[in-house]
Amino acid sequence: MLKTKLKDELILSMKEKNQLRVSTLRMINASIKDLEISQRINKQTEDASDNDIIGILVKMVKQRKESAETYKQGNRDDLYKKEIEEIKIIEEFLPKQLSEDEIIKIIEDLISQNNISDISGMGLIMSELKKKYSGQLDLGLASQIIKDRINF
């Protein structure tokens, strides 16, 4: 389970005295704990699933990319480098990213399997992609590919 792997990596990083890695892993664990608390309040399952954790990690990477770009524009190389290092640490725990060709093949298969011929089927495809390939693909890119394939 991803949650256990993250905790084990945190302990190892603490022993190695790798401060950036420790703080990044603590941030991830805190986000997971926040999610679990909100799930408990909403009477859902108590433990975060791997898909929930992957969703958190994807969001964290996106936030750091945006921050890194802002720091780069502001000539804050020190903060830019820190954000990039955090991204590398977080991405270690994400599944292998699918290539654009793989995404196109998956989308074309979903379109043909579900006999989708217009944009109204886009929600179904996006739902399937989120369910089966969470964290493995850029949903913005997938959305654009779907639109291109349906409107051929």
Reported as a single tens digit per residue, the pLDDT across 87-106 is 999 999 998 888 889 999 99
Q: Are 117 and 71 part of one and the same domain? A: no
Tell me what the mean pLDDT of segment 68-76 comes to: 95
Same domain, 6 and 69: yes
pLDDT category of residue 152 using cuts at 50, 70 and 90: low
Residues 20 and 52 in one domain: yes
Regarding whether 77 and 112 lie in a shared domain, the answer is no
Range of the domain at 127: 100-150
Sign of the C-alpha dihedral computed for residues 25, 38, 122 and 112 taken in this order: positive
* Residues 81 and 118 grouped into a single domain: no
Rounded CA-CA distance 19/48 in Å is 26
Shared-domain flag, residues 24 and 82: yes
Statement to judge: residues 84 and 15 lie in one domain: yes
- Residue 55's pLDDT is 87
**pLDDT value at 45 more than 80:** no
- What's the Cα-to-Cα distance from 90 to each of 9, 94, 107, rounded to whole Å? 11, 7, 27
In angstroms, the Cα distances linking 12 to 21, 31, 65, 119 are 10, 20, 26, 48
| Alpha-carbon Rg for the chain in angstroms | 18
State residue 134's pLDDT score.
Answer: 77
Give the SS3 label for residue 134. coil
Tell whether 120 and 60 lie within a shared domain. Answer: no
CATH classification at residue 106 = 1.10.10
Name the domain boundary from 63, 91, 119.
Answer: 91
Q: What is the pLDDT of residue 48?
A: 84
CATH of the domain at 15: 1.10.1510.10
Q: In this structure, which amino acid lies at residue 5? A: K
Under a CB-based contact definition with an 8 Å cutoff, are residues 106 and 149 in contact? no
- Mean pLDDT score, 34-42: 87
80 and 141 housed in the same domain: no
- 78 and 109 both lie in a single domain: no
Is residue 136 within 8 Å of residue 96, measured between CB atoms? yes
Q: 111 with 75, same domain?
A: no
Q: Which amino acid is at 44?
A: Q
Looking at the structure, tell me whether residues 74 and 112 fall in a common domain. no
Structure tokens at 8: 């084990």
Of 41, 62, 91, the one marking the end of a domain is 91
- Distances 38 to 32, 61, 84, 130, 141 between C-alpha atoms, Å: 10, 22, 29, 21, 30
Going by pLDDT thresholds of 50, 70 and 90, the confidence category of residue 139 is confident
Residue 114: HSE in the Cβ half-sphere, 13 Å Cα cutoff: 20
- Residues 6-14 have a mean pLDDT of 96
Which residue, 64, 91, 118, sits at the end of a domain? 91
Tally of domains in the chain: 2
d(CA 39, CA 50): 14
Say whether pLDDT at 85 is over 80: yes
